[in-house]
Amino acid sequence: MKITVIGSGYVGLVTGACLADTGNHVLCIDLDAGKIDRLRRGEIPIHEPGLDTVVARGLAAGRLRFSTDYAEAVAHAAVAFIAVGTPSDEDGSADLSHVLSAARELGRRMERDTLVIVKSTVPVGTSDKVRAAVQEQLQARGVPHKVSVASNPEFLKEGLAVEDFMRPDRIVVGTDPDDHRAKDIFREMYAPFNRNHERIFFMDVRSAEFTKYASNCMLAVRISFMNELANLADRLKVDIEQVRRGVGADPRIGPHFLYAGAGFGGSCFPKDLRALIHTSEESGEPAELMRAAQNVNLRQRRLLGQKIVAHFGGKLDGRTIALWGLAFKANTDDVREASSIDIIDALLQAGARVRAYDPAALETAATALKGRAGVSLVRSAAEALEGADALAVVTEWLEFRSPDFDDLARRLKSRVLFDGRNLYDPFAVRRAGLVYQGIGRSGVG
Ligand code: UGA
């Protein structure tokens, strides 16, 4: 099948590369000429395990191409994904300007009946706006081509994007109920990912759009709830990690996404929460749980910084804190809305110097932290420890999982370890002579 993907960011690039890998001829476009140049050379602009191999295979086979040219993109295929960004607007709503401008560009050039698939995360009703934007252009040109619009939200996680795309739990597809042509296209396109059991959930377009927000917001609420329980556990001398195992063993609850920590970040949960809260309140529903989840998370992102400041009696002048992890989670270089930024700000404000290391996010963090004096970004975990009083672990990278605690005890002047992701066994840390502080773990030992 020939497929066009508009937008070569996270979602568009992974979608395009993976669909080329299963035999389709895919043309990905983006307005960023620099990015397209790099992609043509096989250079991946983001840190995403395995994506380079898939892109290289597509390029070598001639099935994956990149362009900045809309005319070429529209001429290429009768199936076009829109996978452009929907950042938060000032009021929290999703900014649809990129999505609608992509729709207009399509309408301006369409030379045949086309299926437009909205993959960007968009509020309920956006597909209707996309259809209207395309049709307006078609009418202005006086051409008779038909456009059908489908919603096919993406559920891939950063750091596991290729794996998630290739082995999806579910493929949500919203179409008009009688759009059998669109359904056939989806069945054919997703057949390679749909072998052992049926993973496509066909539904109406609005429900598909909503399913994406419902999933992300439910997970966000769940994490905030665990964080709230963890903070209570700290007061009650309970170990949230033991509670997590006990609670997660109930199949109605399940063990995933129950990890208390330094709060959630990234480009999706915070943005999608804001957008659904906005939609909800605009519709006259108060969004109480989602608001609470958002507030709990804003507090949680600051919590580790506050714990460190409190440990040193409110004053950190002359102290150096080592930070392991800047990315909002492991296996990505993404620092958007990362807890590390809030923690660094709290530490700097209390007078500390920070030495921070991340295996992938040093460059992105340098941009995000520009203008903040007192932070050194260093090239290794060991370098971060030089002259440090305490260590705070903020991201659950594999290389931070089993440090030599005896060595840490020798290096850290104040011998204290703040575990923002509950990665360590408090007993093992204490045996080495370090003070251990996790999230919701005051009950251990
Ligand atoms: C999330 C969803 O998981 C994907 O299904 C979705 O497609 C994606 O958003 C999106 O909308 O594009 P992502 O933001 O890549 O994916 O990362 P997650 O693995 O979901 O983690 C989000 C945040 O929650 C991270 O900061 C992570 O540290 C935190 N988290 C996750 C916890 O604090 N506790 C947990 O138990 C799980």
Same domain assignment for residues 48 and 188: yes
Q: Ligand 1: which residue has its CA nearest to atom 9? A: 268
Which domain does 393 fall in, by range?
216-437
Same domain assignment for residues 264 and 370: yes
C-alpha pair distances (Å), 98 with each of 83, 298, 350 = 9, 28, 41
pLDDT at 443 over 90: no
Mean pLDDT across 313-331: 96
Last residue of a domain, one of 203, 227, 260: 203
Q: Ligand 1: which residue has its CA nearest to atom 18? A: 157
Last residue of a domain, one of 178, 203, 228: 203
Atom of ligand 1 minimally distant from the CA of 11: 12
pLDDT value at position 370? 95
Does 442 map to a domain?
no
Q: Ligand 1: which residue has its CA nearest to atom 34? A: 259
Does 401 map to a domain?
yes
Same domain assignment for residues 243 and 311: yes
What total of structural domains would you count in the chain? 2
Does 247 map to a domain?
yes
Residue 157 C-alpha to ligand 1 middle, in angstroms?
Answer: 6
Report whether 261 contacts 421 (CB < 8 A): yes
Which of 165, 212, 243, 269 for a ligand 1 pocket mutation test, highest count of atoms within 8 Å of Cβ? 269
Mean pLDDT across 138-153: 97
Same domain assignment for residues 232 and 191: no
Atom of ligand 1 minimally distant from the CA of 212: 11
Same domain assignment for residues 40 and 95: yes
Does 211 map to a domain?
no
Does 256 map to a domain?
yes
Q: What is the mean pLDDT of the chain?
A: 96
Does 267 map to a domain?
yes
> How many CB atoms lie under 10 A from the CB of residue 217?
22
C-alpha closest to that of 83 among 111, 108, 102: 102
Cα dihedral 412/417/420/425 (nearest 10): 130
> How many CB atoms lie under 10 A from the CB of residue 300?
25
Residue % of the chain over a pLDDT of 70 = 100
Same domain assignment for residues 164 and 268: no
pLDDT at 195 over 90: no
Q: What is the pLDDT of residues 325-367, one digit of tens each?
A: 999 999 999 999 999 999 999 999 999 999 999 999 999 999 9
Interface predicted TM-score (ipTM) of this complex, two decimals: 0.96
Q: Provide the pLDDT confidence category of residue 269 given band limits of 50, 70 and 90.
A: very high
Last residue of a domain, one of 203, 238, 272: 203
Same domain assignment for residues 244 and 99: no
Same domain assignment for residues 241 and 312: yes
Q: Provide the pLDDT confidence category of residue 196 given band limits of 50, 70 and 90.
A: confident
- Could you give the CA distance from residue 369 to residue 335 in angstroms, rounded to a whole number? 10
Residue % of the chain over a pLDDT of 90 = 98
Q: Report the CATH number at residue 142.
A: 3.40.50.720
Size of the chain, expressed as the number of residues it contains:
445
- The yes-or-no answer on residue 28 being catalytic is no
| 328 Cβ below 6 A of ligand 1 | yes
Report whether 324 contacts 402 (CB < 8 A): no
Which of 276, 329, 341 for a ligand 1 pocket mutation test, highest count of atoms within 8 Å of Cβ? 329
Report whether 127 contacts 96 (CB < 8 A): no
Residue 269 C-alpha to ligand 1 middle, in angstroms?
Answer: 7
| 266 Cβ below 6 A of ligand 1 | yes
Same domain assignment for residues 178 and 77: yes
Does 208 map to a domain?
no
Same domain assignment for residues 299 and 181: no
Residues annotated within the binding site for substrate are 155-158, 212, 257-261, 265, 329
Does 429 map to a domain?
yes
**Model confidence, pTM:** 0.95
